[in-house]
Amino acid sequence: MFETRLPPELAADARDFLRNPRAIEPTRAAASVVVVRPTRPDEDGAAVRVWMQRRARSMAFAAGVWAFPGGGVDPADESDGGSELQIARRAAQREILEETGLRLSTERLLLWSRWVTPQFYRRRYDTWFFFVSARSGEEPVDTSGEADAAAWVDPEVLLAAARREEVDLFAPTRAVLEQLASADSLGQLETHLGGKTDDVPVTRTSWVDNGRDVLVLMPDDPRTPGDAAAMSLPPWCTLVRAPNPGPMTLSGTNSYVLDAGDGVLVVDPGPAEPTHRDALTRVVASYGKPVHGVILTHHHIDHTELAEEFARVVEAPILAHDVRMCQGASPLDEDDVALPGTHDQVRVRLTPGHTSDSLCLQVDRDDRRYLLTGDTVLGLGTTIVAHPDGALGPYLRSLRLLRTVAGPDTMVLPGHGPLRHDAPALIQEYLDHRDERLNQVRAALATGSDGVTAVTDVVYGDVDPSVRGAAEATVAAQLAYLEREDS
């Protein structure tokens, strides 16, 4: 099973990230080049050799790690415009010249894969990996100034050294080396990669702490923790979690930046916390598009406190269901209506209940549906019905609406907690939970409990004192619902 142990300093960062959530650093676009030649008659081992460099111990990032030539996208690479892939190819062409002296045309650079650095890293990259077969007479030389060793390497030998923990490899490097080691010939690799389209999936690794080591896991590893669903977000969506964990906010408020058609949308900018504001600003800038709107799923302060300041900085309107929350825009007061400028990909779903102004966003893109649910559906536990503003009847209707629009592949992007791939089952759990709680309230009333306090004592008697107020608000909503039901 694929796994890589993180070195101690990175393991410490990963553990600290889980214990003390902080703003996620945005990614920088980068390119890496896998230069390969066939194994010579006097060489044993794998069918190919690959050119690799060991980064100098003095480097601030990835010191001592064996890696392929490459680096970040520079402004010069972007000067001629084009798609992300075209820009990455130009960066790869420049980097391979700078670091090995090889002059390659972009047409020779075959797309291999695309990897995004895990969320806990303090430097994060969105790296495109390219493959090139070195021709006769093309001999790379280390001209990077960043390496203390460089050589043609047998991928089998380097992988064996990594398993013995004699060398350090990042997860993408190890994955590429394993594919190289299993290849029957260079021609097989060229045929396989030559048939690839330009639409490769983004691979996002996760990590797990087993008490002794922090292990890097591939997305399909069964040990991947639930929150690692965030690693599988498409490149047009970035989650920036605010550093405001608590009993009501779980691991913090989830703010989202969506590349939506002609511009960017920022959903629930969250608390007015400087590091969160700065992280959101950097992520928005990384998309290189104007912000068409700051969207609020509801009025609670942990979702909206930063809204006015952020909207002013990015010169965007604030859109919400409640007209009092809007600035420079009309209220979002119609259900199943597409937001302007999103090419019909982002639609508003009115879902009152948690609050009277709650809404969700339905995003249909890349043959998949995504629901940004605010506090209507959370990634962990259940939400409150904030009586008297919120009401249980509308909330149940909103859950049923979401259940009808959620397909088997629908992903829930909640306002708090981990992302969820099991939308239909999750929403049904919410409905079942509400039915169960209503039956418990009916039973409490039948045995003589009267009023919010007494019913809360019976139904939510084991609740943590820090969320007692939320429990009482929910009971008030349940009693109001049952009173209307019985009248």
Among the listed ranges 207-211, 264-268, 373-377, 455-459, which one has the minimum average pLDDT value?
207-211
The residue from 217, 250, 267 where one domain ends is 217
Does residue 208 sit within a domain?
A: yes
Same-domain status, 334 and 210:
no
Same-domain status, 131 and 238:
no
* 110-116 vs 3-5, strand pairing mode: unpaired
By three-state DSSP, how is residue 406 classified? Answer: coil
SS (H, E, C) 374-389: ECCCCCCCCCCCCCCC
Cα 89 to Cα 119: distance, rounded to the nearest angstrom: 25
Contacts of 224 (CB under 8 A, 6+ apart): 206, 208, 217, 218
The residue from 217, 247, 263 where one domain ends is 217
Per-residue buried b or exposed e for 27-36, using 16+ beta carbons within 10 Å of the residue's own CB: bbbbbbbbbb
Q: CB 158: neighbour CB atoms within 10 A?
A: 23
pLDDT digits (tens, 9 = 90+) for 190-210: 887 766 656 677 787 777 666
Residue 250, pLDDT score: 83
pLDDT digits (tens, 9 = 90+) for 32-61: 999 999 999 999 888 999 999 998 887 766
pLDDT of 229 higher than 50? no
Helical axes 423-446 vs 468-486, angle rounded to 10° = 80
Same-domain status, 157 and 295:
no
Find tokens 């004699």 and name the residue: 166
Same-domain status, 60 and 162:
yes
pTM, two decimals, is 0.57
Q: What is the DSSP string of 217-272?
A: E-TT-TT--GGGGGGG--TTEEEEE-S--BTTTBT-BEEEEEEETTEEEEE---S-
Residue 21, pLDDT score: 56
Which residue type sits at 139?
A: E
DSSP single-letter state for residue 282: H
Give the H or E element holding residue 111.
strand 110-116
Same-domain status, 212 and 263:
no
The residue from 191, 217, 243 where one domain ends is 217
Written as six digits, the tokens of 258 are: 């969506």
Give the H or E element holding residue 182.
helix 171-182
Domains identified in the chain, total number: 2
Residue count (the chain): 487
Does residue 139 sit within a domain?
A: yes
Which residues are registered as beta bridge partners of 409?
A: none
Nearest to 378 by CA among 277, 298, 275, 278: 298
Same-domain status, 196 and 250:
no
8 A C-beta contact, residue 25 and residue 118:
no
How would you class 356 by CB atoms within 10 Å of its CB: exposed for 0-12, middle for 13-18, buried for 19 or more?
A: middle
Structural domain containing residue 414: 234-426
By three-state DSSP, how is residue 293 classified? Answer: strand
pLDDT of 121 higher than 70? yes
By three-state DSSP, how is residue 400 classified? Answer: helix
Which residue type sits at 382?
A: T
> What's the rounded mean pLDDT across residues 321-350?
93
Written as six digits, the tokens of 244 are: 């405001």
List the helix and strand counts (H, then E) for the chain: 13, 22
Does residue 272 sit within a domain?
A: yes
Cα 270 to Cα 82: distance, rounded to the nearest angstrom: 33
Same-domain status, 319 and 358:
yes
DSSP single-letter state for residue 297: S
Residue 18, pLDDT score: 63
Does residue 143 sit within a domain?
A: yes
Same-domain status, 138 and 41:
yes
Percent of the chain with pLDDT over 70: 92
CATH classification at residue 190: 3.90.79.10
Residue 236, pLDDT score: 87
pLDDT of 335 higher than 60? yes
8 A C-beta contact, residue 129 and residue 176:
yes
Nearest to 374 by CA among 347, 389, 352: 352
Count CA atoms within 13 Å of residue 201 on its CB side.
7
Does residue 486 sit within a domain?
A: no
> What's the rounded mean pLDDT across residues 455-475?
85
Cα 461 to Cα 456: distance, rounded to the nearest angstrom: 6
Cα 423 to Cα 232: distance, rounded to the nearest angstrom: 15
Same-domain status, 184 and 312:
no
pLDDT of 211 higher than 70? no
Does residue 95 sit within a domain?
A: yes
Cα 385 to Cα 353: distance, rounded to the nearest angstrom: 6
Same-domain status, 396 and 311:
yes
Does residue 26 sit within a domain?
A: yes
Does residue 446 sit within a domain?
A: no
Cα 381 to Cα 360: distance, rounded to the nearest angstrom: 18
SS (H, E, C) 321-374: CCHHHCECCCCCCCCCEECCCCCCCEEEEECCCCCCCCEEEEEEECCEEEEEEE
Which residues are registered as beta bridge partners of 80?
A: none
Residue 23, pLDDT score: 66
Same-domain status, 378 and 312:
yes
Same-domain status, 299 and 381:
yes
Cα 146 to Cα 64: distance, rounded to the nearest angstrom: 10
Among 18-27, 175-184, 211-220, which range has the highest average pLDDT?
A: 175-184
8 A C-beta contact, residue 115 and residue 127:
yes
CATH classification at residue 285: 3.60.15.10
Q: N- to C-terminal Cα distance for the chain?
A: 61
